[in-house]
Structure 1
Amino acid sequence: MTLTMPPALADLEARSISAWFGERKVLDRVSLVMPAGTVTALIGPSGCGKSTFLRILNRMHELIPGASLAGEVLLSGQDVYDPARKLTDARKRIGMVFQKPNPFPAMSIYDNVVAGLKLTGVRARRAEKDALVEECLTKAGLWPEVRDRLKQPGGALSGGQQQRLCIARSLAVRPDVLLMDEPCSALDPTSTRRIEQTIAELAHEVTIVIVTHNMQQAARVSQQCAFFLAEQGTPGVIVEAGPTKRIFESPSDTRTSDYVHGRFG
């Protein structure tokens, strides 16, 4: 693998995704196109299946005991659930940043960034790793703050810095897609603003899907929104999806309007 070449932009498409935890159905025939080089925000009340949908996109749902699913997830037209495809390939091409920052706390900042190379079997010379660390930390908006302390533990950073370190770590394996599950929910406003700036800067080179409960954030960072809803014990569905501006200013469903304007949820 060449470390210096960015991936071609890739689109992601979910087709008729249904999901279960044991006998309980939590998603019902959810379909969504997430265009290449675009930030798609998944919005909706807690418990409507947004995070489950996100985990399905890079095959993390199947790790949960008793979990099952139906439907297809296509990355540039190829089914990531194809039995002929390795699980590690899906994880490499579709990265994930979690709600709570999870750097390897005892590992240095430098080693945190390059950790994914070993996990995905990529070999690189020291000079290549050095260049990769600087590039990914720069893209994550962290390089100026840590350039002189790369050997210090990642766990010593602030919460916002740890989250940006996790973004840098995800970028190091050259993913086509970056999934973000409420990446700012545990952060202060200053750190949140920096993460949002990072998302805006990354969007031209990686397809981003973000779950957020912050409607202002969804409006700021995304070009497309999908509104999820689970009503009265029924499984989660997408009520509507489309350009962010339309979803916020002239949605076609009154439930969408009520939610984005804070009238429920």
Structure 2
Amino acid sequence: MTADVTTTLPPVPAGSGATGLAELQARDITAWFGDRKVLDRVSLTMPAGGITALIGPSGCGKSTFLRILNRMHELVPSAQLAGEVLLDGEDIYDPAKRLIDARRSIGMVFQKPNPFPAMSIRENVLAGLKLTGTKADRSTKDELVESCLRKGGLWTEVKDRLDAPGGGLSGGQQQRLCIARSLAIKPRVLLMDEPCSALDPTSTRVIEETMLELAQEVTIVIVTHNMQQAARVSSECAFFLAAHGQPGVIVEHGETRAMFENPQDQRTSDYVHGRFG
């Protein structure tokens, strides 16, 4: 793949119904860093248009699994992977698939807000277009900036200062700017790695409200250590666990309410009720 590939803004792709909502499925994912196995035969279906929460103690492979879902795992020189990640039935790791296509379809929001500090708010939103070689005229860009900032729950706060530096926003605003930036390339899945862990309760509430609204048009997968957050925002939940010296596995997964109110595994019950982890 070369860096000068250019495309036009794509239409909403066909997928699970007219909305284009996408199902993401991991099949028998095993992952290594060098000789250390960090995940062992993890399989999980993340339903279209839902919010799937990945929970579990630190070091059990949740964030690694999340990064595998949009091919970030392979950026680590020692990383290896077995298994498949299917977006509407097509393996994103198929050798015939371009990396840029996976990144356009499956966006990522990180734990620490990472706006480009030298760029304005407007430039931050549009940055993904440059990185993916997408062309658009000024009018289209203006519409995209407003649309994405609205979806990110930030438009009313910044509409009069779009040329101000993105790095000058508060932490919660920066995280919402990063969400807006991810949405600009029209992903079908949005991955979120502890997006509220560094935020105050008010900012966390706004981010959660944003997620619930976005789930109507994009499939969301979130890693969180906050059990209350998982219960509030997710429709599905997967509990990861790694025994001492062993790779991470999924102990239990299913509908969130059932996982919290009637878990099938005692280890799940202990974790969601704060008895360990």
TM-score by length of 2: 0.94
1:99 and 2:107 matched: no
1:13 aligns to what SS in structure 2?
A: strand
1:213 aligns to what SS in structure 2?
A: coil
Partner of 1:170: 182
CA–CA separation in structure 2 for the residues paired with 1:181 and 1:117: 22
1:256 aligns to what SS in structure 2?
A: helix
Partner of 2:141: 129
Aligned length: 265
- Output aligned runs, 1:151-190, within 5 Å: 151-190=163-202
1:66 and 2:78 matched: yes
1:4: how far off? 8.3
2:134 aligns to what SS in structure 1?
A: coil
1:255 aligns to what SS in structure 2?
A: helix
Q: Quick check: 1:17–1:70 contact (8 Å CA) kept in 2?
A: yes
1:61: how far off? 0.3
Gaps of 5+ in 2: 1-6, 14-19
CA–CA separation in structure 2 for the residues paired with 1:65 and 1:82: 19
Partner of 1:238: 250
- Output aligned runs, 1:190-229, within 5 Å: 190-229=202-241
1:122: how far off? 1.2
CA–CA separation in structure 1 for the residues paired with 2:37 and 2:238: 20
Partner of 1:15: 27
1:179 aligns to what SS in structure 2?
A: strand
Partner of 1:138: 150
1:241 aligns to what SS in structure 2?
A: strand
CA–CA separation in structure 1 for the residues paired with 2:10 and 2:63: 32
Greater alpha carbon shift after TM alignment, 41-50 vs 84-93: 84-93
Q: 2:124 aligns with which of 112, 133, 136?
A: 112
CA–CA separation in structure 2 for the residues paired with 1:90 and 1:5: 16
2:247 aligns to what SS in structure 1?
A: coil
2:84 aligns to what SS in structure 1?
A: strand
CA–CA separation in structure 2 for the residues paired with 1:206 and 1:141: 15
1:259 and 2:277 matched: no
RMSD: 1.0
Partner of 1:250: 262
CA–CA separation in structure 1 for the residues paired with 2:137 and 2:95: 33
CA–CA separation in structure 1 for the residues paired with 2:125 and 2:111: 18
Q: Quick check: 1:3–1:132 contact (8 Å CA) kept in 2?
A: no
1:233: how far off? 1.3
CA–CA separation in structure 2 for the residues paired with 1:246 and 1:103: 37
1:5: how far off? 4.5
CA–CA separation in structure 2 for the residues paired with 1:234 and 1:82: 28
Q: Quick check: 2:8–2:134 contact (8 Å CA) kept in 1?
A: no
The letter for the 1-side match of 2:173 is: Q
The letter for the 1-side match of 2:150 is: T
The letter for the 2-side match of 1:98 is: F
Change (3 A) 1:4 1:146: farther
1:3: how far off? 4.5
Q: Quick check: 2:9–2:135 contact (8 Å CA) kept in 1?
A: no
1:90 aligns to what SS in structure 2?
A: helix
1:240: how far off? 0.6
1:119: how far off? 1.2
CA–CA separation in structure 1 for the residues paired with 2:157 and 2:220: 24
Q: Quick check: 2:8–2:135 contact (8 Å CA) kept in 1?
A: no
